[in-house]
Amino acid sequence: MLKVGRDIMIARSVEEVFAFVSDFDNFTRWSTDVVKAELLNGRRVGVGTRARITRRALGQHFDMLFEMVHFEPPARLGFKGEMLGIPFRSGLRFDPLDAGARVTQIGEVVIPPLLFLVEPTARQVLATTFENDLRKLKQVLESDGHA
């Protein structure tokens, strides 16, 4: 299993960061590769919420289906799902700091045995994606009038 985690400090309260990230209307504003985010079972977000996001990667668009498995305001969000038939788990943790919030993004992907050679590349792609997403989240939230 491939596991990657990255974090960043954002000069906003954990409540503000959690509210922004857990609002699916904001997904395309901070997730750099996401071109569309769609809730599949209503507008209420919580454990059991199902969604489809469309990611742009390698010049292609890929749909990712996932379900929210953790919803603990303002501390934690967690998801499970699959992309291209490969299962994954992902989550965000929001920790209060004196100067704002630390946001930690963690992902786990089960690489099929026949694809073990792609694991180093997949690890780097996932790490870079998390770094880009967290930087974009920080930029959006710390800019004036973000909401």
- CATH number of 106's domain: 3.30.530.20
- DSSP reduced 3-state for 92: strand
Judge whether 147 lies within some domain.
no
Question: Which tens digit of pLDDT belongs to each residue from 14-63?
Answer: 999 999 999 999 999 999 999 999 999 987 899 999 999 998 877 889 99
Q: Where are the beta strands (DSSP E) in 1-147?
A: 2-10, 34-39, 50-57, 60-72, 76-83, 86-97, 100-109
Number of domains the chain contains: 1
| Residue 53 falls inside a structural domain | yes
Contact 101, 9 (CB under 8 A): yes
Give residue-wise pLDDT tens across range 66-113. 999 999 999 999 999 987 788 999 999 999 999 999 999 999 988 877
Residue 108 has what pLDDT? 94
Instruction: Tell me the residue range of the domain where 98 lies.
Output: 2-142
